[in-house]
Amino acid sequence: MIDTHAHIDVKDFDDVRNDILIRAEESGVEKIIMPAIEPKTFNKLIDVAKSSEKLFFGIGIHPHNSNEVNGEAINLVEKIINEQNPIAVGEIGLDYFYDFSPPDVQKNLFRKHLKLAKKYNLPVIVHNRDAFEDIFAILEDEQDGTLTGVLHCFSGNTEQLEKALNLGFNVSFTGNITFRKSNLEETVRTAPLEKILLETDSPWMTPVPYRGKKNEPAFLKFIAEKIAEIKKISIDEVIKMTTKNAKSLFKIVILLFFFSFCVSSLIAQSTRTEESEFKDLFSEEQEVFNPYEKSIGIGGFLGTNTIVQSIEEAKGTRDVSYEGIIFYGGLINYFPWEFVSIQLGYVYSKNRKIVEKSKNLLGPNIHQVFELGTQWYVNPNSRLNFFGTLGPSIIFNKFGEGTDKEKENSSFAINTGIGFNLNLPFTGVGLLTVSAEWRLSFDMTVSNTFGIIFNPNDPNDIKFVEQRITSFFSLPRIVVAFYPFNRQ
């Protein structure tokens, strides 16, 4: 188990901290995360964290203390992020129950912390008391796809739970779910196990059966037990999953900005080596919640096709190009992994242009392209994803369309391209992506394609000649696709 929220750096524990760590270990707590409270005690918090391999800390200013801090305090938080490897920004948030700081001061400080968390890719530990509405409004506003975190000591109803989950947040439960008067049963039952963390919130929130005593991480098992009881699953299952959740949330997320999957996996490997210098909380594979998760989607696109051909003739090779041919089509996109999608696309374009005073004309004709592409995403967890494409295509050409001398042929091509997606999630429904992509199809079938000799005064007066033609299609496009959510 991991106690994701225990203030064991506080004075109450000074004399008994070692005993508490021993008892925690005996009860199965392998790691403890200590969120910060106020700048005055930052140094002590860091010293305590360094005293044991089992201890980790978050850095930030508790909403209770918002009023006491000046502009330098947030700089101090950033300095500690840079120098001391905290694993989270927290605890931060809003508390309207106690009237220690005015709401505006709290909100302002909360936002500053969220911006720091995004800047350094750290998860946030959020405290909330009587402030759900403002917490959600601010989180929604700051959520750009990179913000991760936990709403600690979660005590909302199922509606608030759903909002938290839609924002990509985890929730952690503490001793209050064991209280006889607790009204959290429905919330605990509804919360998906893969979004739940365990915490004691020591020295407060002591669970049943130790109410009245000072809380400590060794009591974490009572929270796990209660969750298992409510969800009617085994305690082992609760422990296994919540531990996994905590390990993946409090891991540093590294965004990669390179335009090839190979390069990015190499980079990922080298950064993994760097990360291994951190304590072994980070040793498991990262699993970061992706608010822009896609699995299978359908869409359509529109663009203009430019066809460039090199025609081999006795007197040499000459190039002709046909621009501005409108094309449209549809696609199915399937994501076997978040970094890669397999796309089947169909392009229809009809060249209505007649180029006068030229022999070996291409038009009027129809080109249909079936594209099988793999798209490689550089940063799939962001609102804006960059990708590169590579795959085979088959091009079906129909020449002399509409005349009595129609001819058809097909050729094999390689398609490649670059583009970006803008992800627009619709809560509970799905994800709409709008993309701009520039794709090129290189025709690999060099020999014996058709050239057309065409009489501009009479569209029916055409002759086909066999020529060696190499062509490529430039197909820039705007793509709109929809991915229904299939979250449990």
Whose Cβ is closer to Zn ion: residue 91's or residue 437's? 91
Q: Measured from the CB of residue 3, what is the shortest distance to Zn ion in angstroms?
A: 12
Q: What share of the chain is helix, strand, coil (3-state, %, to 5)?
A: 30, 35, 35
Q: Measured from the CB of residue 125, what is the shortest distance to Zn ion in angstroms?
A: 8
User: CB count, 10 Å around CB of 108?
Assistant: 12
- Determine the residue type at 351: N
Interface pattern 71-110 for Zn ion (x via CB under 5 A): --------------------x-------------------
Cis peptide before 364 (omega within 30 of 0): yes
Interface pattern 35-74 for Zn ion (x via CB under 5 A): ----------------------------------------
Q: In the complex, which residue's CB is closest to Zn ion?
A: 91
**Beta carbons of 93 and 110 less than 8 angstroms apart:** yes
Whose Cβ is closer to Zn ion: residue 176's or residue 333's? 176
Please work out the total of residues on this chain that contact Zn ion, with binding judged by CB under 5 A: 1
Whose Cβ is closer to Zn ion: residue 9's or residue 91's? 91
Q: Measured from the CB of residue 89, what is the shortest distance to Zn ion in angstroms?
A: 13
How far is 217 from 5, CA to CA, in rounded Å? 9
Contacts 24+ apart (CB under 8 A), 120-123: 120/81, 120/89, 121/146, 121/252, 121/253, 121/254, 121/255, 122/81, 122/86, 122/87, 122/88, 122/89, 122/252, 123/87, 123/88, 123/89, 123/148, 123/149, 123/150, 123/249, 123/250
Q: Measured from the CB of residue 80, what is the shortest distance to Zn ion in angstroms?
A: 18
Which sign, positive or negative, has the C-alpha torsion 150, 151, 154, 160?
negative
Whose Cβ is closer to Zn ion: residue 91's or residue 216's? 91
Whose Cβ is closer to Zn ion: residue 13's or residue 473's? 13
SS3 state of residue 186: helix
Q: Measured from the CB of residue 33, what is the shortest distance to Zn ion in angstroms?
A: 10
Q: Measured from the CB of residue 102, what is the shortest distance to Zn ion in angstroms?
A: 21
Task: Tell me which residues in 182-221 interact with Zn ion (CB under 5 A).
Answer: none
* Structure-block tokens of residue 421: 């997606």
Whose Cβ is closer to Zn ion: residue 90's or residue 400's? 90
Whose Cβ is closer to Zn ion: residue 150's or residue 227's? 150
Q: Measured from the CB of residue 70, what is the shortest distance to Zn ion in angstroms?
A: 23
- Contacts with Zn ion by CB under 5 A lie at 91
